[in-house]
Amino acid sequence: MLQQLMPSFKEMHTLKKEANFDYFAQVDLNAANLLVKRNKKGHLTLPDLPADINLIYSVRHPFDTLTSHHPKFPHRRFYVSEKRWRTEYAALRELRARHPERTITYVRYCDLVTSPDAVQRHLANKLGLEIESLFSKSNITFSTRSIKKHENDPDLERYLWLLPHGLRQEIEEFCDEFGYELPDGYVQPSSFIGDSMRRVVVAIRARIWSVVLLTAGSRIARIFKPLLRQPRRSLSRILPRPNRAGTGAPPLGK
């Protein structure tokens, strides 16, 4: 969404594809500002981000992130796994530990969809940008339906309460930092047996198994289909083809 909104600033060129930060060294543009949306592995090299590149870091309530669904990945009930979320947060912490003097511009998703123009002014002030048109006047639809959707879905609520103790502690740290609320009693004392059982349950419930089995079945079919064709082809070489005239015998002189 931010990638689509940033051209609302003057002299802003936005790369339409995703790329790593080393892309900046490969281009020479006349635009004063170039915006690149990091690729899916960008968090792995985030701590190495050069100091001369401004970082806009989008954050979202962990409950909304961990229960989000992506239509391009139908076999996943939840798009962001526990491991991915923790790795992302660890990369951010490492970046700040390595470069404590770095200024990071944070944008909360809930603020963006509820007060887009206020977020735009915040970005302009922090990054020295000039507004050309308001975020709210763009063709982007700002929807709040994905905010706190777990509160109206008991199944999602149970899933979030099944998350292991270590992850809950990191969620609490994240929420304290970025001003998100958590239900009372969410972080409880650690239990090895309880956490182990929770991990198994979470792993099982994070998949839509009917889709997983259907996808696996189609993959198996694609693997075995060429193997099933091979005997038929070999058999066709051995058996004589019937005469098209209907006599059943090969034509004379053949």
Using an 8 Å Cβ cutoff, are 88 and 38 in contact? Answer: no
**65: number of Cβ within 10 Å:** 19
DSSP 21-32: GGGGGG---SSS
Question: Which of the residues in the chain have pLDDT under 70?
Answer: 191-192, 194-195, 198-199, 201-203, 205-254
Q: Both tokens of residue 17?
A: 């594809």
Strand-pairing partners, residue 131, are 9
Name the E strands within 7-94. Answer: 12-19, 33-38, 55-59
Predicted local distance difference test score (pLDDT) of residue 122: 97
Ordered by start, the domain boundaries in the chain are: 2-210
How does pLDDT run across 95-141, given as a tens digit for each residue? Answer: 999 999 999 999 999 999 999 999 999 999 999 999 999 999 999 99
How does pLDDT run across 40-59, given as a tens digit for each residue? Answer: 999 999 999 999 999 999 99
Please give the C-alpha separations between residue 150 and each of 26, 157, 159, in angstroms, as whole numbers.
Answer: 43, 5, 9
Predicted local distance difference test score (pLDDT) of residue 34: 93
The pTM of this model reads 0.73
State the Cα–Cα distance between residues 120 and 118, nearest whole angstrom.
5
Which uninterrupted H or E stretch holds 105?
strand 104-108
